[in-house]
Amino acid sequence: MALENLTAENFNEKIGENPIAIIDFWAPWCGPCRSFAPIFEKVAEENPDILFGKVNTEEEQAIAAEFQIRSIPTIMVIKEGIIVFNQAGMLPEEALKDIIKQVRELDMDMVRAEIAKQQQEGNAQ
């Protein structure tokens, strides 16, 4: 799968269609964003089964606001509809590859159980 530009019109559909989505929140004026782009593109080519989406925070301010993006670049990983990684700042190529490896191995049943447990504890307070 190639890089996808994610917009308000296609965001939910693209995320829903893909078990794993890695999103790069960026802006054209951001130097670190421009430096990270070739790394993101290279890793995307090496992982064709994953959606690699780019959200231009200047053009898609509603998406950036919804995900509370405060600095860019921000990398977010969504697996099966759940945000499992969210970090501001540029990542080296090896770090991005390591995150992908960990996300692939992540047991989502365990993640959902932990979320449910935290919600129950929150409701009990």
Does residue 31 sit in helix, strand or coil? helix
Domain count, the chain: 1
**31 belongs to the catalytic site:** no
Q: Please, what's the b/e burial string for 76-104 (b: 16 or more CB within 10 A of its CB; e: otherwise)? A: bbbbeeeebeeeeebbeeeebbebbeebe
pTM reported for the whole predicted model: 0.91
**64 belongs to the catalytic site:** no
Per DSSP, 82 falls in state E
Active site residue: 22, 30, 75, 91, which one? 30
Q: Compute the distance between CA of residue 107 and CA of residue 69 in angstroms, rounded to an integer.
A: 26
Model confidence pLDDT, tens digit, residues 37-61: 999 999 999 999 999 999 999 999 9
CATH value at residue 96: 3.40.30.10
Q: Range of 110's domain? A: 3-124
Structure tokens at 37: 């782009």
Model confidence pLDDT, tens digit, residues 9-36: 999 999 999 999 999 999 999 999 999 9
Active site residue: 20, 21, 23, 33, which one? 33
